[in-house]
Amino acid sequence: MATLFISDLHLCPSRPATTRLFQNFLAGPARAAEALYILGDLFEYWAGDDDLGDPFNAAICAALRSLSDAGVPLYFMAGNRDFLAGEVFARAAGVKLLPDPVIVAVAGTSVLLMHGDTLCADDTAYQAFRAEVRSPEWRQAFLALPLAQRKVQIETLRRESEAQKRVKPIDIMDVNQAAVLQGLTLHRCNRLIHGHTHRPAHHRFELDGRPCERWVLPDWYENGGYLACDDVGCRLHDWPP
């Protein structure tokens, strides 16, 4: 059996076709998986675990829980859109929360997993914003606000982010190769899997004389896609095939 990796689904009620793709994926390839890793941005946004009462969020968590109850181990790493997902979400969805970065063993190989946004080191404005909103102080203050107010603020931040993307150079929104090499060196891995950039690819390169590879997961804006890894190697798959 293969271990599967997905990211950047950006699930939300306004994109029902993507939700159906995801539900079909959970009922299809994911059912036969050794494990499923979700590497961030499963949701378009997550305003806090007290939003589990939302019917859409509850339905997604129930679909994940069904897969977990069927015996498939599920792992979730937060992305830049759903970093407020916590233990209440994890219990409802039947997933284990992972730090970013984390090293996991896949078919006997140590693999470095990341969402990928920290690799975009050239985007200094984003990195400063990320550091601010990931701080315990910001998180505590934000989650103390009423849920409705949080959602309004998130929508404002999303609009500002989209406006900034339109004027930013394309290159700074991609990963910095030096950051990739630094991560692989620090964690002593030869394989890195991440999402975030929405640029699915398989990059091969050498680091200190040893072969390394970086797999970039696809987003689910048009169709879906996933990475399958086993003792033979890794392969990107379209979904539906």
pTM more than 0.85 = yes
Query: What pLDDT sits at residue 161?
Result: 85
CA distance 112 to 187: 7
Beta strand pairing status for 96-98 and 74-77? Answer: parallel
Helix orientation angle between 147-167 and 136-143, rounded to the nearest 10 degrees: 130
- Whole-number pLDDT of residue 169: 86
For 49-98, what is each residue's pLDDT tens digit?
999 999 999 999 999 999 999 999 999 999 999 999 999 999 999 999 99
**pLDDT, tens digit (0-9, with 9 covering 90-100), for 99-138:** 999 999 999 999 999 999 999 999 999 999 999 999 999 9
Domains of the chain: 3-239 (3.60.21.10)
**pLDDT of 210:** 95
Q: Could you tell me the end-to-end alpha-carbon distance of the chain, in angstroms, rounded to an integer? A: 18
Strand stretches in 2-71, DSSP E: 3-6, 35-39
d(C-alpha 91, C-alpha 58), whole Å:
12
Cα 36 to Cα 240: distance, rounded to the nearest angstrom: 17
